[in-house]
Amino acid sequence: MELEAFRKSVDDWLDDAAHELDPAFAGRGTLEQRMAQIAKVRRLAFDAGWARWGWPEAIGGLGGSTLLRAYLSEAVTIRDLVEPGLYSMPEVLGPSVIAFGRPELSSQMLPPLLRGDEVWCQGFSEPGTGSNLASLTCKALRSHDGWRVTGQKVWTSLSQYANRCVLLTRSGPVDSAHRGITALFVDMDSPGITVRPIETMDGEQEFSEVFFDDVSVPFERTLGEEGKGWDFAMDVLPYERSTALWQRAALLVRRLGDLVAASEPGALDPTELGEVTQLVYAFRARSRATQHRMAMGGELGPETSIDKVLLAASEQALFDLVEETLSEQVTVGDDPDSDRWRGEFIYSRAATIYGGTAEIQRNIIARRMLGLGADR
């Protein structure tokens, strides 16, 4: 299907199914409510076929350009049906699991993910492993009937809801750095896994600590080759910094429009509003170009760090303007709209931290795009 026709069909469907799709809560809603809403939108969109376009047929998709699924994610965000941060997870993990996992694994696991029946989480960061991902220590030992995993992950989003975990482990010697990493696809109901949610500043339990105590993982759940988990991670990270962000651009545009509508006459400074608009539109233009590059078969690499830096800058600038303009709502408002502005303002502070900090993105740009060499 062509993008133009898809756009029209999806828009028509979203109009027709609006009563079913609309959230049952006002404002931001609780995390539980938002997760249930996302599952519902996924199921309806999958059953109607729209959520299958842009994904390969081998995993239950209907084929076609990746722009199709990018459009769907934009459309459900512009209509305020889902929260991008939670909704975009299949965009981050799906393509790499398809590329590195065994065909039987992805054909079995992707359909329930895309239909919203299952949730995945991404077990990369550890207490001692943030920006320096190659230092991870969560251990995977070979046994006669599979891997035995012991260690700890942290900042693992949605892990208390997750059915599966895409996990990076240390299968080589302690000092093997990026050479001794193996990626595994782990069932979250495996014996030995404990999830301890952490409350964030915006009052949510969006991420957790995850403990692995001698957890058994079959060999056929290895993603890519043993010891080649770094390649898998390097495949995932550019998606986290690019395709998933297109939907975030849609959210920023929507909330910028909402800000204009919610502001009292004279409350918004025109020059500040103009500058934030330029920033948001520049980020969106960059992200749009990235979606097209990927659809044309281009590989995603270090240049996606530019998309991530632009997202963080424009999101924080937008919500700084929100905080200045709707100060009363953000600081002391108790209604659902105020609660949402406040939650989003606080969440925007994390934009320079999650998905690779502002600092590591700049290091990547300096080393791999400007040719400035290693920093040590």
Catalytic residues: 240
Residues 6+ apart with CB under 8 A from 153: 123, 124, 125, 126, 138, 159, 167, 209, 210, 212
26 binds other proteins (CB under 8 A): no
- Reading the block at residue 170, the tokens are 């240390």
Listed ranges 10-18, 119-127, 226-234, 272-280: which one lies at the site for other proteins (CB under 8 A): 272-280
The whole-angstrom separation of Cα 322 and Cα 32 is 26
User: Mapping DSSP to helix (H, G, I), strand (E, B) and coil, where does residue 259 land?
Assistant: helix
- H helices of the chain, where? 3-16, 18-21, 31-47, 66-78, 84-87, 89-100, 103-114, 229-240, 243-262, 270-295, 304-325, 327-332, 336-348, 358-364
3 binds other proteins (CB under 8 A): yes
362 binds other proteins (CB under 8 A): yes
User: Mapping DSSP to helix (H, G, I), strand (E, B) and coil, where does residue 185 land?
Assistant: strand
360 binds other proteins (CB under 8 A): no
Listed ranges 99-107, 173-181, 308-316, 342-350: which one lies at the site for other proteins (CB under 8 A): 308-316
264 binds other proteins (CB under 8 A): no
286 binds other proteins (CB under 8 A): yes
What does each C-alpha distance from 159 to 14, 41, 277 come to in angstroms? 30, 20, 35
The whole-angstrom separation of Cα 349 and Cα 359 is 15
Q: Rank residues 176 and 278 by Cβ distance to other proteins and give the closer one.
A: 278
* Rounded least distance, CB 33 to other proteins, Å: 28
- How many residues are given for the chain? 376
- Counting residues that bind other proteins (by CB under 8 A) gives 50
Among 35, 38, 70, 98, binds other proteins (CB under 8 A): 70
174 binds other proteins (CB under 8 A): no
369 binds other proteins (CB under 8 A): yes
375 binds other proteins (CB under 8 A): yes
Q: Rank residues 18 and 260 by Cβ distance to other proteins and give the closer one.
A: 260
Contact 360, 132 (CB under 8 A): no
* Rounded least distance, CB 370 to other proteins, Å: 5
Among 306, 318, 322, 351, binds other proteins (CB under 8 A): 306
Q: Rank residues 295 and 350 by Cβ distance to other proteins and give the closer one.
A: 295
7 binds other proteins (CB under 8 A): yes
Amino acid at 53: W
28 binds other proteins (CB under 8 A): no
Q: Rank residues 243 and 338 by Cβ distance to other proteins and give the closer one.
A: 243
User: Mapping DSSP to helix (H, G, I), strand (E, B) and coil, where does residue 170 land?
Assistant: strand
284 binds other proteins (CB under 8 A): yes
The CA-CA-CA angle for residues 121, 356, 291, to 5°, reads: 80
- Reading the block at residue 51, the tokens are 């959520």
309 binds other proteins (CB under 8 A): yes
DSSP letter, residue 367: I
Among 212, 246, 341, 347, binds other proteins (CB under 8 A): 246
Q: Which residues contribute to the site for other proteins (CB under 8 A)?
A: 3, 7, 67, 70-71, 74, 246, 253, 256-257, 260-261, 268-275, 277-279, 281-286, 288-289, 291, 306, 309-310, 313, 359, 361-363, 365-367, 369-373, 375-376
